[in-house]
Amino acid sequence: MTAASFDHLRVLIVEDNNHMRALLRSLMNALGIRQVIECTDGASAYAELRDKKPDFVLTDLSMKPIDGIEFTRMVRTAKDSPNPYVPIVMVTGHTERGRVEAARDAGVTEFLAKPITVQNLLLRIAEIVERPRPFVRCHSYFGPDRRRRKDDDYAGPWRRQDDIANDVAII
Amino acid sequence: MMKTGNYACEFIQNDCYPPVMTARATSEFLGMLKSDAMLSRLDRAAAARCHELADVVREGSRRLEDAARLGDMQTVFDEAHEIRGLAGNAGLAASGRIADGLCAYLSAMTQANAAIDAGVVGLHVGSISRAANTRDEATRLGTEVDKELRALVKRRLSALSARPRKPA
């Protein structure tokens, strides 16, 4: 199968910098993805999500009036969200811990630091395609399971519905 | 183990929502993604944008210098942030790293509500401009300059955190 076989795939790029947007578009085209929808902020991206139904999203963090964090939160939790499960890769130069945690807690699927490398971009796309994560719904969060590693020594608190149902959460 | 709170979490497994593509397409797509041919094609696509992005970084470094001269630290941060995001893809890795260091310094000082040292900013800004206009900048002075500037910022931030706190 050639790259041309993936021209049915649709990607939404949300990025306010023209040059970064052009770079991401070139890389998507090189991957064989021809249907590239481009937006410069979260508000227009949300509308395009509804109209064009992309298969995954690449979004920047800092944009106005709606940034990538707020956009992600809207996609995951808004009552009229057209696809709360759409994979979202945040692509940003903001690598401070607080920002990464905010992106994680908004519900991004993957995080990619700028400057982007081809290898890291491919790894993130491979992850969202090959290993789609379960989603978690609780009182304060809806989005991909944020846990990256399995900790055999974890001793609680136990919060899963089936933990409570199975009486795991009792001394 | 003790139950804390009354939180309930629902897990929605990945077979309960639409996948990005079918299982067969996924297997073929992944095979293609991991091929040397694909890597080369993507490298060429990125390289094709290199000159354009280098010009953008150089223009950004000029705006950065103007903003620093005016003492407009918000614009300094914004321009440095754009440079750190683009410079690596423009073949100007050292400029990007120095810009990242400048962003880290400005963020830390702002968060600590401390006065920003114009001298520290000036050193970074001047280095970003010189690195952006020097051939082979990442393997020559650029890497050394980045290291020295990060050491300077680390010393300044250590001095900041060592200051006695005002009583509440």
User: Using a CB-CB distance cutoff of 8 angstroms, which residues of chain B are in contact with residue A4?
Assistant: none
Which is nearest to B151 in space by CA: B113, B120, B128, B106?
Answer: B120
- The CATH class, in words, for B50-162 is mainly alpha
Which residue is listed with tokens 């410069």?
A: A40
A169 and B3 in contact by Cβ < 8 A? yes
Q: What's the CATH superfamily of A3-165?
A: Response regulator (3.40.50.2300)
Q: Which tops the pLDDT comparison, B141 or A47?
A: A47
What residue spans define the domains of chain A?
3-165
Q: How far is A131 from chain B (nearest CA, A)?
A: 9
Q: What is the C-alpha to C-alpha distance for residues B30 and B41, in angstroms, rounded to an integer?
A: 15
What residue spans define the domains of chain B?
17-47, 50-162
Q: Is B100 part of the contact surface with chain A (CB cutoff 8 Å)?
A: yes
Could you say which DSSP state residue B116 is in?
-
Mean pLDDT on B71-81: 96
Please give the mean pLDDT across all residues of chain B: 87
* Stated length of chain B: 168
ipTM (interface predicted TM): 0.84
pLDDT per residue as tens digits for the range A50-70: 999 999 999 999 999 999 999
Task: Please report which confidence band the pLDDT of residue A125 belongs to, taking 50, 70 and 90 as the band edges.
Answer: very high
Task: Please report which confidence band the pLDDT of residue A167 belongs to, taking 50, 70 and 90 as the band edges.
Answer: low
Q: What angle do helix axes B93-111 and B118-132 make, rounded to 10 degrees?
A: 160
Mean pLDDT on A109-125: 92
Instruction: Indicate the SS3 state at residue B19.
Output: coil
The pTM assigned to this predicted structure is 0.86
Q: Is 60 exceeded by the pLDDT of residue A170?
A: no
Mean pLDDT on A89-109: 92
User: What pLDDT sits at residue A162?
Assistant: 59
